[in-house]
Amino acid sequence: MSENIIDEFVVPKCTGKAFKVNQGQRLRVIEYEGKQVASLMFFNAHNYKEQFMAEFSGGLNYFQFPTPGSVGSHYRLGELYSKVPYENLMLRVTDNKLGNHFLGTHCTTKTMEIHGVPGHRSCSDNFSDALQAFGLQLEDVYSPSVLNAFANVTIDQKGDGVLHVEPPRSEKGDYIEFQAEMDVLVAVSACPDDQSVINDHSCKAIQIQILEGTD
Protein backbone atom coordinates (compact mmCIF):
# COMPACT_ATOMS: atom_id res chain seq x y z
CA MET A 1 0.00 0.00 0.00
CA SER A 2 1.28 3.46 -0.92
CA GLU A 3 0.38 6.62 0.92
CA ASN A 4 -0.55 10.12 -0.12
CA ILE A 5 0.04 13.27 1.88
CA ILE A 6 -3.39 14.91 1.87
CA ASP A 7 -2.25 18.01 3.72
CA GLU A 8 1.02 19.27 5.19
CA PHE A 9 1.82 22.43 7.10
CA VAL A 10 4.00 23.93 9.82
CA VAL A 11 2.59 25.36 13.04
CA PRO A 12 4.90 28.29 13.88
CA LYS A 13 6.48 28.44 17.30
CA CYS A 14 4.28 29.69 20.14
CA THR A 15 1.08 29.36 18.09
CA GLY A 16 -1.78 26.91 17.71
CA LYS A 17 -3.90 25.53 14.89
CA ALA A 18 -7.10 23.49 14.64
CA PHE A 19 -8.00 21.25 11.70
CA LYS A 20 -10.01 18.15 10.82
CA VAL A 21 -8.79 14.61 10.15
CA ASN A 22 -11.24 12.18 8.56
CA GLN A 23 -11.85 8.64 9.75
CA GLY A 24 -9.23 6.33 8.27
CA GLN A 25 -6.70 9.10 7.66
CA ARG A 26 -3.47 9.27 9.61
CA LEU A 27 -2.19 12.24 11.57
CA ARG A 28 1.58 12.58 11.84
CA VAL A 29 2.96 15.09 14.38
CA ILE A 30 6.59 15.79 13.48
CA GLU A 31 9.49 17.51 15.18
CA TYR A 32 10.24 20.31 12.70
CA GLU A 33 13.38 21.43 14.54
CA GLY A 34 13.61 19.06 17.52
CA LYS A 35 13.08 19.18 21.29
CA GLN A 36 9.66 20.82 21.09
CA VAL A 37 6.44 19.69 22.75
CA ALA A 38 3.22 19.57 20.73
CA SER A 39 0.16 19.63 22.99
CA LEU A 40 -2.88 17.98 21.40
CA MET A 41 -6.65 18.12 21.97
CA PHE A 42 -9.15 15.95 20.06
CA PHE A 43 -12.89 16.32 19.50
CA ASN A 44 -15.52 14.32 17.62
CA ALA A 45 -15.80 16.45 14.49
CA HIS A 46 -19.61 16.05 14.50
CA ASN A 47 -20.19 16.50 18.24
CA TYR A 48 -17.73 18.74 20.02
CA LYS A 49 -19.08 17.62 23.40
CA GLU A 50 -17.34 14.30 22.80
CA GLN A 51 -13.74 15.08 23.67
CA PHE A 52 -10.51 13.22 24.29
CA MET A 53 -9.92 12.42 27.96
CA ALA A 54 -6.23 12.03 28.71
CA GLU A 55 -6.28 10.36 32.12
CA PHE A 56 -9.10 8.00 31.14
CA SER A 57 -7.16 6.96 28.04
CA GLY A 58 -4.05 6.44 30.14
CA GLY A 59 -5.93 4.18 32.52
CA LEU A 60 -7.46 2.11 29.75
CA ASN A 61 -4.07 1.79 28.04
CA TYR A 62 -2.52 0.65 31.32
CA PHE A 63 -5.01 -2.19 31.66
CA GLN A 64 -4.93 -3.13 27.96
CA PHE A 65 -1.26 -2.58 27.11
CA PRO A 66 0.83 -2.83 30.31
CA THR A 67 4.58 -2.68 29.84
CA PRO A 68 6.00 -6.11 30.77
CA GLY A 69 7.64 -6.06 34.19
CA SER A 70 6.56 -2.52 34.96
CA VAL A 71 4.61 -1.13 37.89
CA GLY A 72 2.61 1.97 38.60
CA SER A 73 1.79 4.28 35.71
CA HIS A 74 3.82 2.60 32.96
CA TYR A 75 1.89 1.55 29.87
CA ARG A 76 2.18 1.51 26.12
CA LEU A 77 0.31 4.43 24.57
CA GLY A 78 -1.87 2.65 22.01
CA GLU A 79 -5.40 4.07 21.94
CA LEU A 80 -7.07 7.42 22.67
CA TYR A 81 -10.62 7.45 24.05
CA SER A 82 -13.29 10.07 24.52
CA LYS A 83 -14.59 11.08 27.92
CA VAL A 84 -17.44 9.57 29.87
CA PRO A 85 -20.25 8.96 28.92
CA TYR A 86 -19.08 8.40 25.33
CA GLU A 87 -16.01 6.23 25.91
CA ASN A 88 -15.37 5.74 22.20
CA LEU A 89 -12.07 4.99 20.52
CA MET A 90 -11.06 8.22 18.78
CA LEU A 91 -7.56 7.53 17.49
CA ARG A 92 -5.13 4.65 17.46
CA VAL A 93 -1.35 5.14 17.69
CA THR A 94 0.23 3.56 14.61
CA ASP A 95 3.86 4.71 14.94
CA ASN A 96 5.55 5.73 18.18
CA LYS A 97 9.25 4.98 17.96
CA LEU A 98 10.33 7.67 20.43
CA GLY A 99 7.82 6.87 23.17
CA ASN A 100 8.29 10.06 25.26
CA HIS A 101 4.85 11.66 25.65
CA PHE A 102 2.84 12.86 28.63
CA LEU A 103 -0.89 12.59 29.28
CA GLY A 104 -1.44 15.57 31.55
CA THR A 105 -1.96 19.29 31.80
CA HIS A 106 -0.65 21.86 29.36
CA CYS A 107 0.78 25.24 30.36
CA THR A 108 -1.77 27.88 31.33
CA THR A 109 -2.00 31.46 32.57
CA LYS A 110 -1.50 30.21 36.13
CA THR A 111 1.52 28.15 35.08
CA MET A 112 3.21 31.26 33.72
CA GLU A 113 2.37 33.21 36.86
CA ILE A 114 4.06 30.49 38.91
CA HIS A 115 7.08 30.74 36.61
CA GLY A 116 7.23 34.44 37.49
CA VAL A 117 6.23 35.72 34.04
CA PRO A 118 2.58 36.85 34.31
CA GLY A 119 1.10 37.56 30.89
CA HIS A 120 3.50 35.21 29.11
CA ARG A 121 1.86 33.25 26.31
CA SER A 122 0.69 29.73 27.17
CA CYS A 123 -0.81 26.69 25.48
CA SER A 124 -4.19 27.90 26.74
CA ASP A 125 -3.77 31.01 24.58
CA ASN A 126 -2.77 28.88 21.58
CA PHE A 127 -5.77 26.59 21.99
CA SER A 128 -8.12 29.53 22.50
CA ASP A 129 -6.97 31.17 19.27
CA ALA A 130 -7.05 27.92 17.29
CA LEU A 131 -10.53 26.80 18.39
CA GLN A 132 -12.21 30.12 17.65
CA ALA A 133 -12.39 29.20 13.97
CA PHE A 134 -14.68 26.29 14.93
CA GLY A 135 -16.87 28.27 17.30
CA LEU A 136 -15.30 26.80 20.44
CA GLN A 137 -14.01 28.52 23.56
CA LEU A 138 -11.92 27.11 26.38
CA GLU A 139 -15.08 27.04 28.49
CA ASP A 140 -16.38 24.39 26.08
CA VAL A 141 -13.39 22.12 26.67
CA TYR A 142 -13.89 19.34 29.21
CA SER A 143 -10.44 19.39 30.73
CA PRO A 144 -7.07 21.13 30.42
CA SER A 145 -5.52 17.66 30.26
CA VAL A 146 -4.09 16.82 26.85
CA LEU A 147 -1.60 14.60 25.05
CA ASN A 148 1.75 16.38 25.24
CA ALA A 149 3.67 14.79 22.39
CA PHE A 150 7.45 14.61 22.94
CA ALA A 151 7.20 15.79 26.57
CA ASN A 152 9.86 14.02 28.65
CA VAL A 153 7.91 13.82 31.90
CA THR A 154 8.09 10.89 34.31
CA ILE A 155 6.49 10.07 37.65
CA ASP A 156 8.72 9.06 40.54
CA GLN A 157 7.73 5.48 41.34
CA LYS A 158 9.76 5.17 44.54
CA GLY A 159 9.05 8.47 46.23
CA ASP A 160 5.90 10.53 46.65
CA GLY A 161 4.86 10.54 42.99
CA VAL A 162 6.61 13.81 42.12
CA LEU A 163 6.84 14.69 38.42
CA HIS A 164 10.29 14.85 36.86
CA VAL A 165 10.49 17.14 33.82
CA GLU A 166 13.49 16.88 31.51
CA PRO A 167 14.27 18.32 28.06
CA PRO A 168 12.70 16.33 25.20
CA ARG A 169 14.76 13.50 23.72
CA SER A 170 13.14 14.09 20.33
CA GLU A 171 15.23 15.39 17.44
CA LYS A 172 14.33 16.87 14.08
CA GLY A 173 12.26 14.42 12.05
CA ASP A 174 11.02 12.33 14.99
CA TYR A 175 7.25 11.86 14.98
CA ILE A 176 4.23 10.17 16.47
CA GLU A 177 1.47 8.96 14.15
CA PHE A 178 -2.23 8.27 14.79
CA GLN A 179 -5.00 6.74 12.72
CA ALA A 180 -8.36 8.44 13.13
CA GLU A 181 -11.08 5.97 14.15
CA MET A 182 -13.72 8.68 13.69
CA ASP A 183 -13.79 12.10 12.06
CA VAL A 184 -11.86 14.27 14.53
CA LEU A 185 -11.18 17.94 15.11
CA VAL A 186 -7.58 18.32 16.22
CA ALA A 187 -6.16 21.31 18.05
CA VAL A 188 -2.38 21.51 18.37
CA SER A 189 -0.28 23.94 20.36
CA ALA A 190 3.42 24.43 19.66
CA CYS A 191 4.05 24.88 23.37
CA PRO A 192 5.30 28.44 24.14
CA ASP A 193 6.93 27.60 27.48
CA ASP A 194 10.52 28.84 27.29
CA GLN A 195 10.73 29.22 31.07
CA SER A 196 11.14 25.54 31.97
CA VAL A 197 13.10 22.66 30.44
CA ILE A 198 9.94 21.24 28.81
CA ASN A 199 11.09 22.64 25.40
CA ASP A 200 14.77 22.84 26.33
CA HIS A 201 14.26 26.57 27.05
CA SER A 202 13.72 27.34 23.34
CA CYS A 203 10.36 27.34 21.57
CA LYS A 204 10.21 25.91 18.05
CA ALA A 205 7.74 25.01 15.30
CA ILE A 206 5.85 21.73 14.81
CA GLN A 207 5.10 20.05 11.48
CA ILE A 208 1.81 18.32 10.70
CA GLN A 209 1.04 15.79 7.97
CA ILE A 210 -2.32 14.20 7.17
CA LEU A 211 -1.89 11.00 5.19
CA GLU A 212 -4.15 8.56 3.42
CA GLY A 213 -3.29 5.09 2.17
CA THR A 214 -4.07 3.95 -1.36
CA ASP A 215 -4.04 0.46 -2.87
* 110-137: average pLDDT: 96
| Cβ-contact 215, 1 below 8 angstroms | yes
Q: For 57-110, what is each residue's pLDDT tens digit? A: 766 665 565 554 444 344 457 899 999 999 999 999 999 988 889 988 899 999
Q: Is the pLDDT of residue 114 over 70?
A: yes
The SS3 of residue 59 is: helix
CA–CA gap between residue 73 and residue 109 (Å, rounded): 28
Who's near 161: CB < 8 A, 6+ residues apart?
155
| pTM for the model | 0.90
Per-domain boundaries in the chain? 2-214
Over residues 135-187, the pLDDT tens digits come to: 999 999 987 789 999 999 887 767 676 778 999 999 999 999 999 999 999 99
Per-residue pLDDT tens over the stretch 28-64: 999 999 999 999 999 999 999 999 988 767 666 655 6
pLDDT at residue 71, as a whole number: 40
